[in-house]
Amino acid sequence: MRDVMIDIETTSCNPNIGGILEIGAVKFDLASGQVGETFKIAMYLPQNRYWSEETRQFWSSRLSLYNEITKNSVPPAEGIKKFIDWVNKDILNPRGWSKPLSFDLPFIASYCEQFGIKNPFKHWEQRDLRSFMMGVYGEDLPKLTMKEGLVEHDALADALNQTLWAIETYKRRK
């Protein structure tokens, strides 16, 4: 397996100033439809990262979920290192997936740069779930509803949901 679906929860939409609250990820094989190992970690906000007012309001209206996903937060350097170590553990050239490509992976890249960790996700290997689905469904793109039992805005649940949509879309293209 070299596909890794990544979802993050953040304090802003700007990867240069916003912080990652939580990373959720799923290793999977798109062609076989196999879902593998999962990863989830919450992190404290680094001193040089900030909240946007819009994102603060978003989380203020979801306080119980915010408290649940951040209750076991670790220092950000430790959190991003654990995530990258997990990715590299059994994947030589990981293919990072996200929805959209312009959000999750730039945050990961920014944290890797800040904490001096080599980013394993090469830009030419990154995959955008929405673009992939548009290529298969065209203008009839289905709404990415949450699969049963998954909670929206929990990074691991979102990553798993997106993985299931990617696999379902791949099967449909045949």
User: What confidence tens digit (pLDDT) does each residue in 51-69 have?
Assistant: 999 999 999 999 999 999 9
Q: Do 125 and 4 touch, CB atoms closer than 8 A?
A: no
| Length of the chain in terms of residues written | 174
In one-letter notation, the amino acid at residue 144 is L
Between β-strands 95-98 and 34-42, what pairing exists: parallel, antiparallel or unpaired? Answer: unpaired
Helix or strand holding residue 7 (H, E): strand 3-10
Query: In a structure prediction context, what are the per-residue pLDDT tens digits for the chain, which is 174 residues long?
Result: 899 999 999 999 999 999 999 999 999 999 999 999 999 999 999 999 999 999 999 999 999 999 999 999 999 999 999 999 999 999 889 999 999 999 999 999 999 999 999 999 999 999 999 999 999 999 888 888 888 888 899 999 999 999 999 999 999 986
Residue with tokens 């990544």: 6
Determine the Cα–Cα distance for residues 132 and 96; give it in Å rounded to an integer.
Answer: 13
Q: Do 161 and 6 touch, CB atoms closer than 8 A?
A: no
Residue with tokens 């946007």: 52
DSSP count for the chain of H helices, then E strands: 6, 5
